[in-house]
Amino acid sequence: MKRITGLLVCVVWLMQVGAQEVDRASATNAKLEWWKEARFGLFVHWGLYSVAAGDWNGHPYKGNEHFMLYEKIPWQTYRDSLATRFNPTKFNADAWVKAVKGAGMKYIVITSKHHEGFAMYNSPSNDYNIVQATPYHQDPMKALAAACAKYGIKLCFYYSLGRDWADPDVPTNWPTKGGRSNTWDYPNEDGKVFDKYFRRKVIPQVTELLTQYGPVGVLWFDTPEMIAADESKELRALINKLQPNCIINQRIGNGEGDFAVSEQKLAKDGSVAVNPWESCITISKGWGYNRHDTVYKSAEVLVRNLIEVASANGNLLLNVGPSGEGEIPQKSLDRLAAVGKWMQINGEAIYGTVAWKMQGEKTSVDKKIEKEVAAPNTMKDVLNDATSQKTPADIRFTAKGNNLYVFARSWKEAVVAVQSLGLDKNNGKVKAIALLGYKGKINWKQEADALNIDVPVGFVPEIQVYTFKINF
């Protein structure tokens, strides 16, 4: 009898746990709706490293925004040299958010605290922040929150969780023990207790971010490193308590996040993801501002990247690095504006769409490119861009309602032959086709082996990506 009772208790417990998991999944899906609809956001890396702008002690530094680690700069020296010079008087929150909106983006994720440990907002719990430690003495996040509310953009915060080079209690384990720790100021790696840092800095600062700036769309954590499972759970519970509608990325650690992150990579092997995910990539070479960084992706490549991610059921978070004066580089602004013009015409094929049965039709050129970008990298946490700059002609798909969108990327031929929509593929009989941005009639013919669509003579968009809207 006792055994039967015990089994019943176990069954009831399992049913309760299962119900809790279902409730959490349902709540998470509801919170993610706006984010899935958005598909496109701006990432901003801005901090004390922006003041250095690529140089330290008269030479170009190693490690870009991680140069405090690579150059092993004492924390006090870093603070005295950079915080005392940080005075971003050219920062204009309105102009930033207008650029975001103009690019067709729906949310902005900005570094509230990067690995250097410096808070880019007014942090009452720690005086190493832009209000108290710099001559600027203002809170840019307050201005940004007001501008986001004004223009209907979701404000989201990045927070470096498992790395903080200004704190004595942050051990790391990547790529080896102590590999990303401040061991020159705090050499006793075994004496570091993550929970002390967690209580002293993380909990108070996350509380500040969620109580000082109104609604926060996403808390975007980076590098969970040594955070324990119970700490991840506690942090999630705190966020849910303070802002129940705030979503969280996977880097909160220990499976407590709402969506996955792919850094400097696009969709993997042409696959279509089932679970929510986001690709974060740089518009130039590095994340933070560096005057030596002159390699920028073209607007065409950026549009291709956005399509690549959306066609695999993901979001694209595109990064810019403002200067120490508070300005987004003009090359970045030019590219955001160009992508925005494309989105004004083609946005319906991105916003609120889902992946189709397949991501697209791959070519032999695609496979060659995948091998080209797989080069070894000695700074995998800094210069880790594994996205291609090539522009081969190919086809990608998204879907919404009864419509299928076919993207002919970098297309220069007179006919777009979509083999996946041939009659013998049993994907349905095409009823009508329109080309977004073109008012004339589109000529097409659906045959056994392919759907052949004629590209209108003389119609060449500024970014050579054609979006066909197909109704079955």
Sign (positive or negative) of CA dihedral 304, 269, 225, 254: positive
Do you know the residue count of the chain? 472
- DSSP string computed for 78-98: HHHHHGGG---TT--HHHHHH
For 30, phi then psi, to 5°, come to -65, -40
Is residue 245 predicted with pLDDT exceeding 60? yes
Evaluate whether 278 touches 54 at the Cβ level (below 8 Å): no
* CB-count exposure of residue 321 (10 Å: 0-12, 13-18, 19+): buried
Average pLDDT, rounded, for the chain? 92
∠ CA 95-98-100 to the nearest 5 degrees?
Answer: 115
Phi first, then psi, for residue 172 (nearest 5°) are: -135, 165
pLDDT of residue 260: 97
172 and 358 Cβ atoms separated by less than 8 Å: no
Which class does domain 360-471 fall in?
Answer: mainly beta
- Domain map of the chain by residue range? 33-258, 360-471
What pTM, to 2 d.p., does this model score? Answer: 0.93
Assigned architecture for domain 33-258? Alpha-Beta Barrel (3.20)
Measure Cα distances from 34 to 31, 107, 109 in Å: 7, 10, 15
Confidence at residue 268, expressed as pLDDT on a 0 to 100 scale: 74
- At 375, the pLDDT band (50, 70, 90 cuts) reads very low
Query: Which residue from 125, 122, 163, 117 is spatially nearest to 141, judged by alpha carbons?
Result: 122
pLDDT band for position 29 (cuts 50, 70, 90)? confident
pLDDT of 364 above 70: no
